[in-house]
Amino acid sequence: MALLHDHDLAHAFDDAARTYDLLTGLNPGYRTDLLRSARRLQLPDEGAGLHVLDLGCGTGASTRALLQAAPQARITAVDASAGMLRRARAKPWPARVNFVHQTAEHLPAMQEGPFDAVFAAYLFRNVTHPDSVLASVRSRLRPGGRLVIHEYSLSGSTIHRALWTAVCQGVIIPMGTLSGDRALYRHLWRSVLAFDTAPAFADRLSRAGLTGVRTAPVAGWQTGITHTFLARNGSSAAATEQAV
């Protein structure tokens, strides 16, 4: 089965939106891992006066993590799926959170911004042209602004590839089949196998002009499968930062 792309992928997420929170809630550590990655933005003063972009916000789990990590920040949450955004908007949010229906590829056309920080969870594996999206992110991120990407990106070890396939074949795809969204969850399986390894994606970030690139593994069963990537937009100060 070929990977889903662009409009086909957005429509698949539209259809899956009704059960998405239930299925991700069954993933041990899903929300805790998002919060840990959001905190790695290390926004000062709980984000007071800062404008943060949540790119690929889905139903709002990453947005909630940002609110916990930076409770005073203004957040613009963007997603290409109208169905996922409807689920997100139906939840209670403070007035400083704004949801926008937009693709990552068309980020430069947005009225809002520039942003002091960008958080992107489970996004880059799903875009057709990641280098173009990285360029779009840099165009909307202030000089020196922080970027954190939380993504399924395998270590490169055959053990982790095999573990990912076993989890997908034994748990994720069967659950997706029960919910009527088998195509999306087969896409999830295959997209992770096809995506950059963690070292390759870190190199991609550096080639895009981002500085101080760091990679941190996610704990638990996802070690070697999910990573957090940290970088800055052109600030040499980030070169001394360490993942915590």
pLDDT of 242 reads 34
Looking at per-residue pLDDT, the higher value among 225 and 5 belongs to: 225
Question: Is residue 243 predicted with pLDDT exceeding 50?
Answer: no
Average pLDDT over residues 109-136: 93
From CA 7, how far away is CA 208, in angstroms rounded? 25
What 8-state DSSP symbol labels residue 169? I
Which tokens in the block code for residue 30? 């899903």
For residue 151, the surrounding DSSP H or E stretch is strand 141-152
Answer whether residue 160 is part of any domain.
yes
Q: Closest Cα to residue 168, out of 155, 184, 180?
A: 184
Report the CATH number that the domain containing residue 116 is assigned in CATH. Answer: 3.40.50.150
Instruction: Give the CA distances from residue 104 to residues 26, 35, 79, 160, in Å, rounded to whole numbers and listed in that order.
Output: 27, 22, 7, 29
Answer whether residue 152 is part of any domain.
yes
Question: Is residue 129 predicted with pLDDT exceeding 60?
Answer: yes
Answer whether residue 111 is part of any domain.
yes
Distance from the Cα of residue 80 to its chain's centroid: 13
Answer whether residue 94 is part of any domain.
yes
Percent of the chain at pLDDT exceeding 70: 95
| DSSP-assigned states of every residue in 41-94 | T--GGGGTT-EEEEET-TTTHHHHHHHHHSTTSEEEEEES-HHHHHHHHTS---
Q: Strand, coil or helix: what is 192?
A: helix
Average pLDDT over residues 90-103: 96
pLDDT of 2 reads 66
From CA 207, how far away is CA 192, in angstroms rounded? 21
Q: Closest Cα to residue 172, out of 17, 4, 24, 12?
A: 24
Question: Is residue 193 predicted with pLDDT exceeding 90?
Answer: yes
Answer whether residue 103 is part of any domain.
yes
pLDDT band, very low/low/confident/very high, at 3 (cuts 50, 70, 90) = confident
Q: Please count the CA atoms within 13 angstroms of the CA of 54 that sit on its side-chain side.
A: 31
> Mean pLDDT lowest for which of 86-90, 103-107, 131-135?
103-107
Answer whether residue 20 is part of any domain.
yes
Average pLDDT over residues 137-158: 96
Question: Is residue 208 predicted with pLDDT exceeding 80?
Answer: yes
> Mean pLDDT lowest for which of 17-21, 42-46, 72-76?
42-46
Question: Is residue 240 predicted with pLDDT exceeding 60?
Answer: no
Average pLDDT over residues 55-84: 97
Answer whether residue 1 is part of any domain.
no
pTM of the entire predicted model: 0.93
The range of the structural domain enclosing residue 67 comes to 6-240
Domain total for the chain?
1
Question: Is residue 58 predicted with pLDDT exceeding 70?
Answer: yes
